[in-house]
Amino acid sequence: MTKSSYHIVRVGLAITFIWIGILILKNPEAWGGYVRPWAVNLLPISIAQALLSTAILDIIIGVLFLIDWLPWLAGLVASLHLIIVLAVSGITDITVRDIGLLAATLVVTIESLPIYIKSFFKK
C-alpha cells in the first residue's frame, strides 16, 4: 500500500468514527434499537450508558486516526469494536457496511504496526 493511500483510508476512517460518535451522543436511544435483545440482557449497565461509552470510544478512536498518533492501536481497538458491533447487531442491510469498515481498520492496523511488533511476528 502506498503511503498516500494509507493516509486517505486513515483520515476517512477518522471522519466516520468521530461522526458516528457524535450521532450516537445526539440520540443514544435510537442507536439502542440496533442491539439484539440477547446482547442487551448481557450488559451489566443500561443500554443508554453502554451507547454513551461506545460514542466516547468511537470519538477517541477517530481522533487517534485523525492525528495519526498510535494508529495501529486505534485500528486494533476499532477492529475489535466492529467485530463486537457485528456480533451484537447481526448483519443487516444497515450494518453490512461495517464489514467494509472492519477491512479498512485492519488495513490501518497492519500498515502502521511498529517495527518491534512486526519483527516479533517475523521470528
Partner 1 sequence: MTSQALIFTLSALGISETVYLIKKRLLFQKPVCLIGENCLAVLESKYNKIFIIPNDLLGLLFYITCSLITAFLVIGVSPLLLWANIIKVLIAVGSALSIFLTYLQFRVIKAWCFWCLMSACIIWLMAVIILFTGRLY
If phi > 0 it is left, if psi is from -120 to 50 it is alpha, else beta; for residue 68 that is: left
- Alpha carbons 111 and 94: distance in angstroms, whole number: 28
Q: Phi and psi (nearest 5°) for 2?
A: -75, 160
Binding characters for partner 1, 9-48, by CB under 8 A (x = yes): --x--xx--xx--xx-xx----------------------
Binding characters for partner 1, 53-82, by CB under 8 A (x = yes): -------------xxx--------------
- The answer to the question of residue 101 lying near partner 1 (CB under 8 A) is no
- The answer to the question of residue 1 lying near partner 1 (CB under 8 A) is no
Nearest-CA neighbor of 102 among 84, 79, 122, 68? 79
- The answer to the question of residue 97 lying near partner 1 (CB under 8 A) is no
